Amino acid sequence: MNAPAIWIFLPFGLALILWPLRNERLSAGLASGITFLLALAAWLLPIDTAMSAGSLSIKITSSFDILGRQLVLTSADRLLLALIYATTCFWFAASASIKIAHKLIPFGLGITALLVASLSVEPFLYAALLIEMAILLTIPLLSSADRSPGRGLFRFLIFQTLAMPFILFSGWLLAGIEANPGDLTLVLQAAILLGLGFTFLLAIVPFHTWIPLLTEESLPYLVGFILWIFPTTALLFGLGFMDRYTWLRTAPQLPNLLAIAGSLMLVTGGILAAFQRHLGRLLGFAVIAESGFSLLALSLGEATGLNLFFLLFVPRVLSLGIWSFSLSILKKQTSSLHFGEVKGLGRTWPAAAYGAILANLSLAGVPLLACFPIRQALWEGLARQTPGIALLMLIGSLGLVTGALRSLAVLSMATEGTPWAVRESWSQRIFLALGTLALFILGLFPQWATPILTRLPSVFEHLGH
């Protein structure tokens, strides 16, 4: 028994089994149960250490050889695997209540397995090919048989695919740098190619335009899953580059470049979110701003920045999941999420409206909500190092708050005499109630998650020590 077979091949095989299944509850129940057990196994079972039960001895080995390459998951990766599959379980559990489990779960499991494989493959250059395979799986996930794909899906496919050759060429040059570390020309060329690759992969401005288009065209919950798992994997992939190469990790220009890119994404996403008249596009620009927060956290330095980067994970997935879930409920009632179409829906779909606004305010860093403690720590760190960047962070956050207040006004603006009603199903109400309660609990007691998340930097051999 080996770790890649459990955490890569097993979920991919389950995706193939569940693909023809059309029973929403059965599909969601099986997938949620399996991903929860995978997360629990990653948390409890050691890797490369024999486990004894009476006369029986079992050892989970860390590597799996395939086509002359290796997939390697070590004991240091267990916490990251537990987090990935626990959050995947979170996405799958709610999918049946909005009747998309038959679509999200098989493709979502396949995408998750491929992206976990991309983080474990050796040599690491093959990660680009695995990421591209995961990107191709998003096409049937986000497209619909009754209409042609929109511009957002095409741009997503183009921009993400353009990142791959840059990353592959940079990897080829990086191999040359290992043999001749004193060649400054080679170092500069590799750094430029690597920067261009991750600019496309992370949708850094101006290559961000596919995000608001995609959230406008497709069902928000499906897009929300994509906007969670791909940027998270891309950031972890980038940290892997930094951990592997000393010259990149110790480059004096790196914190400044991360701060510039992060502040650009945060300000762009925040300001544009303040002027949106479409709830889906507002979600897209908030995701752009959220990626900016992650880059700003990494710009603070190895110890503090890396801890804050991982502490952002749980509040982000919780806020993004609740927001996209709420918008999916609202979208099923109208032809569009444009302000003119959703006007007054807060009277008849109050739980969904409340969830969308609260999750929006959480991502903006409003006090008492999940993202606030981490935003505050990030703000303090930036204020000590670069006060100008801290001011830009404030501007971006205010833009997100403005977008939330405008959304609240529109959703509450019903015609006179419209009665209050609660039309969400019981399962939808339960998921929204639990989710919003978790937003407040994480905001009030962030120390409950801190001991676990601050152990995640140990995944990286050099950055985490």
pLDDT tens-place string over residues 328-364: 999 998 888 999 999 989 999 999 999 999 999 999 9
Sequence spans of domains, the chain: 1-122, 255-465
**Which of 101, 136, 74, 83 shows the shortest CA–CA distance to 316?**
83
- The pLDDT-based confidence of 23 (bands split at 50, 70, 90) is confident
Mean pLDDT, the chain, as a whole number? 89
- Rounded percentage of the chain residues whose pLDDT exceeds 70: 96
pLDDT at 181 over 70: no
Lowest-confidence region among 97-106, 283-292, 407-416: 407-416
- Rounded percentage of the chain residues whose pLDDT exceeds 90: 58
Query: Cα dist. 204→78, 158, 237, 262, 324 in Å?
Result: 30, 14, 16, 8, 22
pLDDT tens-place string over residues 192-215: 888 899 999 999 988 999 999 999
pLDDT of residue 404: 96
The model's pTM is 0.94
Q: How far apart are CA 394 and CA 269, in angstroms?
A: 12
Largest CA distance in the chain: 76
CA distance from start to end of the chain: 30
pLDDT tens-place string over residues 221-233: 999 999 999 999 9
Comparing 406 with 46, the larger pLDDT belongs to 406
pLDDT at 141 over 80: yes
Residue 174 contacts residue 245 (beta carbons within 8 Å): yes
